[in-house]
Structure formats: C-alpha cells, structure tokens
Amino acid sequence: MAEVGPFGFAVVDKDVEWTSHDVVAKARGVLGTRKVGHSGTLDPGATGVLVLGVGRATKLLRFITALPKTYVAEVRLGVETNSLDADGEVTATHDMPGITIEDIRAAANAYIGPIEQIPPMVSAIKIDGKRLHQLAREGKTVERKPRPVTVHRLEVSALPDEPRHASGGLAAFGMEVECSAGTYIRTLGADIGTDLGGGASLQALRRTAIGSFGVDQANPVESVTTIPPLAALSDYDQVVVDDETAKVILFGRPLAEDLVTGPGPWFIVHNGELIAVHERIDGRIKPGVVFS
C-alpha cells in the first residue's frame, strides 16, 4: 500500500515559550495530518532545532533521538536556581570574585569526554512511574542516579559585553557544546559553577543541530515542510539492495551478514526509497522497522 499523506521529517526552529507539544500540535494543522511526533523535548525557554517525524516516519524518531546534539548557551555565574535555569526560583547566590575566562575554560575542560550527570529535578525522566518535573511541582525532591553521557566538544567564550560582578570577576559566559543524547546542558553549567567555588544557572539555550539536521535547514513551525526520510538520514549507514533481497526484507526476515559493515543500525534502500531499518538483535541483523 502506498503511503497516504505526508511522509518524512520536518525540521523546526522552535521559538521561545513554545513547548515541544505546542510545536507538534501546530505542525499537525500546517501539514494536514495528526500523525506527527518529535524526536526529543526542547524546554520551553530554549530555542532551535526540533525534528518532527511525519506519517510513518514517526517510527524512525528513536533513531533521530539517539543522534548527538549541538547547543549554544549562556551561563550566569553566582546564581543557583531550583531548575538550574532562569525559569526557576533562586535558591542561592555567591560572590565569585576574580573569575576569569581562563578559569572557566580550565573548569570546563574537566567535562570533556565520558562523564556522569545527575538529572535535574525539572526533567522528563520517570522515577517510579512519575516524571521528575511533576514531582518538582509538588515540592518533592527524590534521589536520582547518575547517568553516563559524553561531551564531545565544549568551547567556552566571553560574552560580547563581558558582564561582571561588583568584585570584578566575570558574571556570565557563553559555551558551545556537542554532546551525546541525554546530556543536560543546565547541569553542565551548574557543575562548572560549583567547581569554580560558587554556583551557576543557565540563562539561554539554543540547539543548533541534531546530528546532521542543522538550524540552517530549520523553519518556523508556521512554514514547516517535510523532507523525504532517505534524504534526511545521512547520519546512518545505508545499504542498497536488489529486487530479490528487497522481497525477503519486506517479509521481515533477517539480513545477511555479508551485506553490512559497522555496528548499525542500517537503513535499507531499494530503488531509491527507504524500505526498512535493520538492527543487530540477539546476534542477528533483524528488521526494527519495515515499510511495505
């Protein structure tokens, strides 16, 4: 059966104060289908790249969610909040005299590579069936286990106006972060502030890329359009198959080992169209998604 309605990805440049749910709801009207989902929440106070799956491409969103992310952020030194960002209530202030950009870079360098982060209370992670942000709204704080993430690149910069505390130290700084899925930039900023002898909170956040989906491809949700799945999946290995192999794949059968290289997943292409995604499951290369 041919795909009915739009089918592919849409790259949105999310505006501030929009929730990811708001973007999905608006995109459903713009694209003319209710079958729209997003690849991972972007906080209301943040802007930037949000990738939507449209039609049966919603089945592929988990592969987009797993891609590395790139962010630019502004961090305020000397102020801690209960949400670790500007939307929360101030919980502590610190006099941090004499902090230089070199001090900040030295502290930030300790977070490049594999690290562990404790998720903030204001997050979508579930503990005992309830999301942390729901518990936080109830005034509850629960123990969270550290989670492994990887910071591939972290570059610190001075802001154009170099805001400073009365004592002379920098009051804020900018950073650009390329990181694995699941990394909390607000936690990263707060931890750097703690290591500098005080505290910090995120003041602004913009996601500039999810894998190869860049902000240069993104549009406001009001004018969003779809990209064919295959054209948007340069982040993964693609395997081109012949007619005979395609028939086997469309019956949901495993793929022969000699057709693939690397760890997967593998996006299977026939006659220029994406027909399936295979993954290594129980030691065999099995279909995770099949498009008839």
- Which residues are identified as catalytic? 43
Q: Tell me 171's DSSP state.
A: S
Q: What is the DSSP string of 33-94?
A: -S-EEESS---TT-EEEEEEEEGGGGGGHHHHHTS-EEEEEEEEETEEETTSBTTS-EEEE-
8 pairs with which residues across the strands? Answer: 54
Indicate the length of the chain as a whole number: 292
Structure tokens at 28: 């459903």
CB 121, CB 133: distance < 8 Å: yes
Residue labelled with tokens 């930037």: 48
Task: Residue 96: count other Cβ atoms within 10 Å of its Cβ.
Answer: 21
CB 273, CB 231: distance < 8 Å: no
